[in-house]
Amino acid sequence: MSTDWPALTADLEQLLKLRSIPFGMKLYEDAAEMEAIPRIRRPQHVHTLDQVVGQASRLGWTVGITAEDLVGAQCRAVVGLGSAKTDAWKSGEHMTGVWFSTLEDAAAHQAAMNCVPDGRYQALAVGPLASGKLGDPDIALFYATPGAMIYFINGLQWAGYKRFDFSVVGESACADSWGRALTRREPSLSIPCFAERRYGGVLDEEMLMATPPEHLQKAIDGMRALAKNGFRYPFPQYGVQQDVRAGMAVSYKS
């Protein structure tokens, strides 16, 4: 059964009060498949992948790229485009003295990143989920506040509870979000890094969730169940000096 992406996206936007557009990513072994997407946009300039993601999440564009459209190996490596993971890339020499004190520190950072292996994919498309242009994307993503993110996670944990552990590599945080979700096939929350905020338009209060699409409906069902119990986002403030018993009694039986 095909997914009703407009309805699912509307539910997500309503429950989490999203201020940017939920979007998807899909990798293609043949670039011609990406180019066949109706009204696909192709970059006219060299970009970071953060910028392409920003075009989807802020402008509502569906954009297709190949390795040549990205500024360097760091962006290409995370999604496995081209032959990015050279010995020079693995060494971290380009980040030494910029983000990390020593070559050893930089190499350790590169090794810690979640990246799609090189060699299989020629192209990537990024676009709004609601458009349906990507068919069934490999992963779904959205930006939201920390409060919205914990509510989404609460929804995922409503039924079939699972503890979630996320990663923080620091700079190149795309490895913690779309890199991790593409490779591990599990929900991946990240704190967007400098590059995402400077080049991708990510707001200071935003975090990024990347997940295989099937987790979205599970979280929505969970959030709806929580809403029936009076737990809704945004969370109403109770007051730091109030007697807490009245508030707690609404949710928990004595």
DSSP 171: S
pLDDT tens digits for 176-187?
A: 999 999 999 999
CA 230 to chain CA centroid, Å, is: 28
* pLDDT for 2: 83
In the chain, what are the domain boundaries? 5-232
How many residues belong to the chain?
Answer: 254
* pLDDT for 51: 98
* pLDDT for 1: 61
pLDDT tens digits for 86-97?
A: 999 999 999 999
Please give the biggest Cα pair distance in the chain.
63
Mean pLDDT, residues 22-43 taken together: 98
pTM: 0.95
Inform me whether the pLDDT recorded for 32 exceeds 70: yes
Question: Nearest to residue 216, comparing CAs of 7, 54, 28?
Answer: 7
**Cβ proximity of 100 and 109 under 8 Å:** yes
